[in-house]
Chains A and B, each alone.
Chain A
Amino acid sequence: MRLHLLALLAKEPAHGYELKQALEQTFGSAYPSPNIGQIYVTLGRLEKDGLVRAVDVEQSNRPNKKVYYLTTKGREILTVWVDEPTEGPRVRDEFFMKLVLAPLTGIADRMALISRQRRHYLGLMSDLNDLLARTEPDDRVAILLIEGAMLHLQADLDWLERCQEDLA
């Protein structure tokens, strides 16, 4: 969450609760509801590392609140994060290792592994279909996230078929 908070603070200084609200507003249901305690812990660590600076603001009738600013160092770290390419999905995953190794042991045959995995993926797809149907059309960020997950699943299924053609 560190870099997400830095990005929000690059827009404008904010206190912890405002950051929680900004995450909720920006991501809609695409972000699992952020925990305020976790936000404060993260802000504390960012402050310790010199990436943000906290300023106490006095409030009448209430304890002071801390407003966080991005530091120059924080902005540099954020820029590096934005500029560097992001790792894509890995293909040599747990299933691939099973698929290659299991037949050697005689525990399972590849056809059975592939078939079971295909049904598992379709179960996940079914969940995503339900989720898409439940998501408000104006929750664009959440819809894009769901569609992205669906496209990944489609690729996984196409790849299972390739495995079936070549290995089974």
Chain B
Amino acid sequence: MSVIRTVNLVKIYSGGAVPVPAVRGVDLRVEAGEFVAVMGPSGSGKSTLVHMLGGLDARTSGEIWLDEKRVDTLSESAWALLRRKKIGFVFQFFNLVANMTVADNVELPALLAGAAPKDARERREHLLGALNLADRADSAPGQLSGGEQQRVALARALANQPSVLLADEPTGNLDSRNTRDVLRLLSDVHKEGQTIVMVTHDARVAGLADRLVSLFDGEIVDDGRITRRRTGTAGEVIDLR
């Protein structure tokens, strides 16, 4: 089953003097359980594409289907409802609620989507634990470092076990040790069947994906599988390069 399907999806920004085409006819199909990395130079339309998939940016023309239902024609409020239930979003900037604790920030989406409080708490404890943030649960987001806030935002996005996790440069603020925690969590939830579409320049994160979509000038110029090859020790693998 396709979790996401777009048909000739187009976005033209017409606010300025000249209309700017950002996405020019994208046909994309993402199957359940796939991890798709989206890469391309800045201005290639990657962020616009992912924002449209999450209903954060209205399409100019074309179709968007989520879980086999057409969604590009939905109203703002219907999109808001759909996002609560089906979409987890994580951005380069965290957009955490400043006057709520870390724990509440992570639990809130699950509660809004109708999860039982006990389940929401367990899920939150699991996610914060996996991201090495258990001892920050009662802090306010403002007391956390950028890397910690980024991880809280990821935990929040995964709290609902959404149909799809949409991410736009989710490791922009992380040092290498924090990135390891994030990589491990993404890899784990992906193995459990989480569908992920992620815009990233970070090759470590993109290396977890099954499939790479390359955008250039608003069009898909390459779409193919990322194949794993080797096993061996560090010395062997790196020597073979």
Contacts and interface: CB of A to CB of B under 8 A. Distances in A.
Given A146-B234, A165-B41, A32 B239 contact: yes
Given A115-B222, A164-B41, A124 B241 contact: yes
B216 A126 contact: no
A111 B37 CA distance: 18
Nearest to B206: A122
Contacts of B203: 121-122, 125, 150, 153-154, 157
A149 B232 CA distance: 15
Interface stretch (B71-79, B92-100, B145-153, B207-215): B207-215
Interface in A110-138: 111-112, 115-116, 118-119, 121-133, 135
Contacts of B225: 119
B216 A119 contact: no
B227 A123 contact: yes
A161 B235 CA distance: 29
A29 B235 CA distance: 6
B176 A128 contact: no
A128 B222 contact: no
Interface in B94-110: none
A143 to B, nearest CB: 8
A61 to B, nearest CB: 36
A105 B105 CA distance: 57
A158 interface: yes
Contacts of B29: none
A18 interface: no
Interface string B154-183: 000000000000000000000010001001
Given A111-B216, A122-B226, A153-B203, A29 B234 contact: yes
Contacts of A157: 39, 201, 203
Chain A's interface size range is 35 or more
A92 B229 CA distance: 25
B234 A145 contact: yes
Given A129-B207, A164-B216, A30 B234 contact: yes
Contacts of A76: none
A126 to B, nearest CB: 4
Contacts of B204: 125, 129, 150, 154
B214 A118 contact: yes
Contacts of B207: 122-123, 125-126, 128-129
B14 interface: no
A142 interface: yes
Interface string A18-56: 000000000111111100000000000000000000000
Nearest to B233: A29
Interface string B189-218: 000000000000111101111001010100
10 contacts: A32-B235, A111-B222, A115-B221, A118-B39, A119-B226, A121-B203, A122-B37, A131-B233, A145-B234, A149-B241
Given A31-B235, A115-B221, 12 more contacts: A29-B235, A124-B229, A125-B206, A126-B228, A127-B230, A130-B231, A133-B187, A145-B238, A146-B238, A157-B39, A158-B201, A168-B216
Interface of A: 27-33, 111-112, 115-116, 118-119, 121-133, 135, 139, 142-143, 145-147, 149-150, 153-154, 157-158, 161, 164-165, 168
Interface of B: 37, 39-41, 176, 180, 183-184, 187, 201-204, 206-209, 212, 214, 216, 221-222, 224-239, 241
